[in-house]
Structures are given as C-alpha cells and as structure tokens.
Amino acid sequence: MTARVRSDLSEARRIVVKVGSSSISGDATWRIDMLVDAIVTARARGQEIILVSSGAIATALSLLDVGSGRPDDLATQQAAAAVGQNVLLWRWQSSLDRHSVLAGQVLLTLSDLQHMTPRINARRAMDRMLTLGVLPIVNENDTVATHEIRFGDNDRLSALVAHLMKADALVLLSDITALYTAPPDRPGSRPIDTIGPEDDLRAYEFGDKVVNSVGTGGAATKAMAARLAQDHGIGALVTSADNVSEALAGANIGTWFAPTPTAEPATGTLPVIRDVDTQETR
C-alpha cells in the first residue's frame, strides 16, 4: 500500500531506504549491523526493501593515501570509489550473513536513468532480485560518472530509484533526527513534523549542502529529494539512521513529506526536479 501518512510505513509494500556516508563510515561502521537488523525485521513483515547506500569514497579514505578529507579531483574520487565500493558491499554482506540474506549490487549513473533501455534493465533486475529474496544495494557508479552527469548526491538518486521502482515510500536516513525550520543551533529553530505537497519550502532555511568531510548531502538535498518523491506520489520520511527501526515501523518521528494525492509513481521518464530554493522545475 502507498504510504499516505507516516504510520503507513509499517504496512508499505515496497520501501526505498537511503543511508548517508557519515552514518556508516569511519567510526560509525557499527551502524551497519543495526540497519541490517531493522531491514531484516521489515522484510519479515513481508515488506520489500531497496537500500541506497552512500559511503564508497568515505570507506576508501582510511585505506588509501589520499589525505584525510574527501578528495577534490575526479580521478581520485573515481579510484577511491572503486576500492571503497568493494569494501562497502563486503561490510553489508558480512552483516546480512547473520540473517542468511544475500545482497545484490546495483551501480547507476544519471545517464542510465535518462535512457529507456538501461532504465528498464535496472528496474527489471531489481524486481527480480526482490522476488528472489535478494536485498538490492544501490549506489552511484562513481568510477565512471563525471561532474557533468553525476546525480550529485545519493539523496536524489534514492528519490529517482523510488520513482523507478514504484516504491510506496522513501526513507532518508542520516545524522539528523528531522528537518528544522532553520539551522538547529539557531535560537527559535524547531523541528518540522510534516510538509505538505503545496507547502513552500522557501519558508525554511535548510543551510549549506555540504555538512561533513565525507558526504555530499545535507538538509537541503534531503528536502529536495523528499520533494521529488512527494511530487510523484511517494511519501518520504527524513530522520536519523539511529531511528531506522522506528521509522520502518511507522513511528511518529522525523519529518514527513506527505505525497501528492493524485500523483502516481510512473516510470516512463525521469522525474522533473523542483529546486528547494527557487521552487522552479529543471
């Protein structure tokens, strides 16, 4: 069933779950087991989960001699992604082994979703993985992507995957418990409970895009991704990775983007993206 309200998440048939780099890399790798346990519990309820996992480049930083921060040049990012993706998937699979669940890797570029044949192939492959009981783990194919064609962040990728796979909900997990009306440390800032399809996001100040040294996301990209899903009839929840069990159980947490009632998550074309700051389409 399509998740029209937050509590519907516990009964949604298909959910795309996205987790950010800072939540599962470096000292935070312990969360992988926690996330896997929550995903397996949801699967036991009969739900289909598609995981969009960031962290390939961040995972490689401790393994390669490329400095302490995220590399700036594209070639080093591509090389780090090739190394990190291998280790990242191994970490997910090692945790899934505790539950005898098999993962399947899906690496996508924006070009893949812009053209009909690779788009259909990706959807067909993930549909088949789900029927086989395999957990699809999606990431951007950073090794071949360029600055001109990259998704820019996996928040947007997860919204596009939710659209592609006709998901009933999207859950965006990171290091924030909810979206706030302004930066959380600012006096008067308060968490946002629900954002409706017609709410003007310009009423909120989501801050800079880059919020840490390993990831490329932030509150603004999550709001943009959630709005993208919302515009196409897919409810989206933004909350902390530490709340994953509660989120998938439909608890009253995080910021809920209520889906547009008349929209259907059709997969014929790449969705139009409304920019958070301008409310225009592009």
The annotation status of 18 as a binding-site residue, yes or no, is yes
Phi, psi of 124, deg, nearest 5: -65, -40
> What are the structure tokens assigned to 83, written together?
């190394």
Across the beta sheet with 194-195, what order do the strands follow? 103-108, 135-140, 48-53, 14-19, 169-174, 235-240, 255-257, 194-195
Residue 269 region, left (φ>0) first, then alpha (ψ -120 to 50), else beta? beta
The annotation status of 72 as a binding-site residue, yes or no, is no
Phi, psi of 104, deg, nearest 5: -130, 130
> What are the structure tokens assigned to 34, written together?
């926690």
Residue 226, CB-side half-sphere exposure with 13 Å CA sphere: 29
CB atoms within 10 A of CB 135: 22
The annotation status of 54 as a binding-site residue, yes or no, is yes
The CA distances from residue 32 to 14, 20, 53, 230, 247, in Å, are 21, 11, 10, 27, 16
> What are the structure tokens assigned to 250, written together?
């439909």
Three-state helix/strand/coil letters over 14-57: EEEEEECHHHHCHHHCCHHHHHHHHHHHHHHCCCEEEEEECCHH
Residue written as tokens 């979206």? 179
The annotation status of 127 as a binding-site residue, yes or no, is no
> What are the structure tokens assigned to 61, written together?
């930083």
Classify residue 8 as exposed, middle or buried by CB count within 10 Å of its CB (0-12, 13-18, 19+).
middle
Binding-site residues for substrate: 54, 142, 154
Binding-site residues: 18, 54, 142, 154, 174-175
Binding-site residues for ATP: 18, 174-175
